[in-house]
Amino acid sequence: MNKYLIIISLLLSFSNAFAGVPDTFNERFNFIKKDGKLIEIRDRSMGFGFSIAPYIKYIKENLKTEQALMQSKSDYYGDLEELLNEDAFALDEKSNQNVKIVMDSLKALETLDVDGIFGNPKFRNFIKKFENKLKFELSKLNPSVLAHTQDTTFFYKRKVTYQVVTWGLGLAKKIFSSVPILNTASYVLVKVEKLIREKRLFHQNLLMHYMENHESELGLSKEDVDLAYSSIYESRIPWYAFWESTAAKENWKRYGINKFFTNVRLANSTLRAHRDRYTTRGKRMNFAFQAVKEGEDNVIINLFDRQSIFNSRPAIAFYIDNPKKMVRKRIIMQLAGLGISFLPIPNFIKNIGDKYIKSTYEKQKLTEGALYGYFEATSNFLRMDEVLMQYQNPFDINIRL
């Protein structure tokens, strides 16, 4: 009888360990263990299948939709300037210059022959070659692995996809004599490779929400969680930063957790430094996100990322009363990233403008994986979908499982 009571007790304790996390968490994440120790954390929604087609469809639709707006709305550029000039988005000394570059970049796309470029046989053949090359490199990896706790260089020695981009850019210059096709092809391949890499970062941030707020419910030891943090942060070491890779190896048990809490302390300092900007402060969702009221807007701010390279204020992550507002801003900035390549301005100005454009959304949308995790943990399905709309990664369509 005692034996059966022990078995039932163990089953109940195992069940209770996962009681506090939603079913989607258990369906998505898979903890691989050996001899009771965590080896890997895998994400079932990140499979091996890969095709560039979803991104081609996505960018074509956005380009054509924006061109239709330009042609149908007489006040299109006035509305655009008003959106970009909002204090929350472009409040800095170089605001006027930055807004002008973005607007000029959008204007450069107004007459772009979208169907002619994407339907060009040479363009389509080039994209297929790039896709095959990228598939080959990705086949060497397991894209579902978010953390490998026992291999201190697991991600560092697997940073190979940037080499495919270098190859692709060189090939594009040899193939295309038409500037619109060359620029568009170059933009697509750089963006595709980046979006593939970004999937892991978004999902890791989602996972870290649970590691921070539901550690006792995950069925992992504290040591397992600390090592998972180390692997996550090891995956973010640039391929050239061998010194940082060495530092991670030498302090593997504490490397990740030290990085995490250093960032949390910086986030807390950021909130204190900017507290006077907010009329009220609401709930702190997790390490990176805080609900506040800024002026008349109820928003969630991102304490890990700033508005832009020229604006040190915490980035607005979510407009609670108008979620589509951020989606609109990010579509504009992404298209401006293509349009700037067509502007007849010196390259050093283009580079500054391009850095500014990317700084308004690239890091921010990845940190928002933790915001998605918060909404998922609270079963707020509407907000989950709205965060995914902001994330805008057509390669991450299975995240909801």
- pLDDT, residue 94, reads 58
User: pLDDT, tens digit, for every residue of 94-135?
Assistant: 567 888 899 999 999 999 999 999 999 999 999 999 999 998
- pLDDT, residue 122, reads 96
- pLDDT, residue 12, reads 37
Task: Count CB-CB contacts under 10 A for residue 74.
Answer: 7
Judge whether 43 and 144 are in contact, CB under 8 Å.
yes
- pLDDT, residue 161, reads 76
Closest CA to 254 of 370, 158, 153, 152: 152
- pLDDT, residue 47, reads 76
Judge whether 375 and 387 are in contact, CB under 8 Å.
yes
Q: Whole-angstrom Cα distance, residue 152 to residue 252?
A: 7
pTM of the predicted structure, to 2 decimals = 0.90
- pLDDT, residue 28, reads 93
Q: Whole-angstrom Cα distance, residue 335 to residue 102?
A: 9
- pLDDT, residue 142, reads 85
Q: Is the pLDDT of residue 10 over 50?
A: no
- pLDDT, residue 211, reads 97
- pLDDT, residue 74, reads 86
Q: From the DSSP assignment, how many helices (H) and strands (E) are in the chain?
A: 18, 7
- pLDDT, residue 136, reads 87
- Residue 339's alpha-carbon distances to 110, 151, 189, 308, in angstroms, are 9, 42, 15, 19
